[in-house]
Amino acid sequence: MKRASNASFITQPRRWLTLYWRYGLWLLFASSLALLIVLGHQAAQAYQVAINPGDPELGTTFSVVVQAENAAATEPPVITLDDERRFSSFAIGANRYRALIPTSPLDRPGEHIVRVIGQEPTRNLTVWLRNRSFPTQRIRLSADRAGIEGTDYEFDRVDTFKQISSPEKYWNGPLLRPSTGRVSTPYGVRRYYNGVFAEDYYHRGVDYAAPTGTPVVAPAAGQVRLVGRVSEGFELHGNTIGIDHGQGVLSIFIHLSRIDVQEGDFVQAGQPVGAIGATGVATGPHLHWGLYVNGIAVDPEQWRSQSID
C-alpha cells in the first residue's frame, strides 16, 4: 500500500478507475438501497383508501374510507372532489375516517378526481360517475302561479339547516320509508318550464301521496334542528321539519299538516314526527322528503336499500 499512499489520482487514472469500481458501485448500491427504504417507508405511511360504491351514478352518495397508517396521525383527512368541493371526514374507528360525497343530476357524468389530503402523503383517485336518465315534466306556468316564490325567512332557515354537519352519527343501517303513501314523484325528475329546460332544477327528494293526516315517521334517528310553520312565513315549503342524522346527513319534510316535535328533540327511527298535508305550494296532500348529504339533495332510495355505515 506504499504506492497508493504516494499516488496522485490525477497522474494515475487507472488507480482512480479501480477505486471507482470498488467504491463507486458500493456507493450506488447503498444509495439505491436507501432510496428503496425511504420509498418503502413512505408507502407504509400512505393512506389506504376505499371508495364505495365503486360505480356511482348521478344521485349516488359514495363513501371515501381512509385508513391512516401512521398511528400518530390525529387530524381527520380532508377529501376534495375535482379540487372544487371539500368534505370533512369523521373518525369511524382506530385511525379510520370516512367522508360522504354527494352527487346529483346536476353533476357531470364521467371521470372525477378524489384527493385525500392530510398528515400522510396526498392520495389521488379517479371515480367514474355513471350517467343516469331522469324522468322529465313539462310545466306550464301561469303569471299568478309563478308569483309564489317563498319568503327570505324560510329560505334563510332552510339554507342554515342544510349546512349542519355535526360530528355524531345518529343513523344506523338502511333508512326507513317515512310514509306508507305511494311514490307520486321520484327523486331527480327534471323540468321544462313553458318549453325551456330548467338547467338548475331537479326534484330534490321523493314525494309520497297520501291523505292529509297520514303519519310521517323519522327515517332514521336524529335531532330535530328545524321546525318551520306557515304562520311564521314558510309560505312555499309549508309546515316543515328538519332532522339532523349526523355527519352531514339531514332529512327535510315539507307540506306537513301537523308537526308533533320541537326543535332540539331527539327522535328514533320510525318515530312519528308529523302528518302529511298540502301546506305551502302543493297541488295535493303529499310528503316531500329531501335527503341532504353535505348540502346536496341525494337519491334517498340508495339509502333505503343500502346500509351506508
Residues contributing to the site for Zn ion (CB under 5 A): 207, 288
Q: Which is nearer to Zn ion, 236 or 308 (CB)?
A: 236
What minimum distance in Å lies between the beta carbon of 185 and Zn ion? 5
User: d(Cα 198, Cα 299) in Å, to the nearest integer?
Assistant: 19
Cell numbers at 229, concatenated: 310553520
What minimum distance in Å lies between the beta carbon of 98 and Zn ion? 29
What minimum distance in Å lies between the beta carbon of 121 and Zn ion? 44
Q: Which is nearer to Zn ion, 98 or 288 (CB)?
A: 288
What minimum distance in Å lies between the beta carbon of 101 and Zn ion? 24
Q: Which is nearer to Zn ion, 49 or 293 (CB)?
A: 293
Taking CB atoms, the residue at the shortest distance from Zn ion is 288
Q: Which is nearer to Zn ion, 87 or 253 (CB)?
A: 253
Q: Which is nearer to Zn ion, 112 or 286 (CB)?
A: 286
What minimum distance in Å lies between the beta carbon of 183 and Zn ion? 10
- Collect all residues with Cβ–Cβ distance below 8 Å to 288 and sequence separation of at least 6: 205, 206, 207, 252, 253, 254, 255
Q: Which is nearer to Zn ion, 127 or 298 (CB)?
A: 298
Q: Which is nearer to Zn ion, 112 or 288 (CB)?
A: 288
Bridge-based pairing of strands 78-81 and 110-117 is antiparallel
What minimum distance in Å lies between the beta carbon of 288 and Zn ion? 3
What minimum distance in Å lies between the beta carbon of 136 and Zn ion? 15
